[in-house]
Amino acid sequence: MVNNFTSDRKIVTDFFRGILATHGTGPNAVGYGNKESQRVRFEVLSEIGNLQGASILDVGCGLGDLYDYFTHVRGWKLDSYLGIDICPNMVEAAKKYHPNINFTVHDLLSYVGLVGPFDYVFGAGTFNIKTPHCHEFAKRMLESMFAYCKVAIGVNFLSMYTPFKKDEVSYYADPSEMLKFAFSLSPRVILRQDYKPNDFTIFVYRNDPCDQTSR
């Protein structure tokens, strides 16, 4: 029987509902330690390619901070952006702060009701919460994200090789395990673990990452 990850979804939804109620806005409300750590992770994700004129799917969008980074900090004019999250409270807050941007409550693993594909699919801090099936859940999500992309996906994780683990609620992934799984999706993969000691990012491309003509 295929795992539907019901318990995992509830843990994630309850966690983010709680910190959103506590912090209201800002990086802490979506699980980042501070604004600088969020900025560094977004900067690395932005190096996936030139997003000017691209269509974007933001999985686990939170408050829409990645959209703000791409459009306000990097200055990219996107063709389209859709932010999805399984936490209704997050989506409600994202809509409040971005009234003209598309956000919706959606479970990517439902495989229904989402119009795609998108040039790029991102997961920023999407898999940082420890759940009973976090390894399997992350892999199934990467598989689904790749199915929705035309060019590439970019995802970051907390790394099991961090010199410190600050709590028991965070999921620290094995970079080599995630890299091996990424290669099952495509031979064109980049792993970055050179920017923070507790974090890594994986890019999975459909074509040569130097070739942006595919979109």
Question: What is the C-alpha to C-alpha distance for residues 121 and 135, in angstroms, rounded to an integer?
Answer: 19
Q: Rounded to an integer, what is the distance from CA 20 to the centroid of its chain?
A: 18
In a domain, 44, yes or no: yes
In a domain, 210, yes or no: no
In a domain, 157, yes or no: yes
Structural domain including 127 reads 6-205
Q: Evaluate if residue 49 carries a pLDDT over 90.
A: yes
pLDDT value, residue 29: 46
pLDDT value, residue 146: 97
- Cβ(108)–Cβ(114) under 8 Å? yes
- Cβ(198)–Cβ(158) under 8 Å? yes
In a domain, 211, yes or no: no
- Predicted structure pTM score: 0.90
In a domain, 126, yes or no: yes
- Cβ(210)–Cβ(48) under 8 Å? no
pLDDT in tens, 137-187: 999 999 999 999 999 999 999 999 988 887 788 999 999 999 999 999 999
Of 191 and 23, the one with more pLDDT:
191
CA proximity to 74, closest of 33, 45, 31, 35: 45
Total domain count, the chain:
1
Q: Evaluate if residue 52 carries a pLDDT over 50.
A: yes
In a domain, 212, yes or no: no
What mean pLDDT value characterizes the chain? 89
CATH number of the domain where residue 60 is located: 3.40.50.150
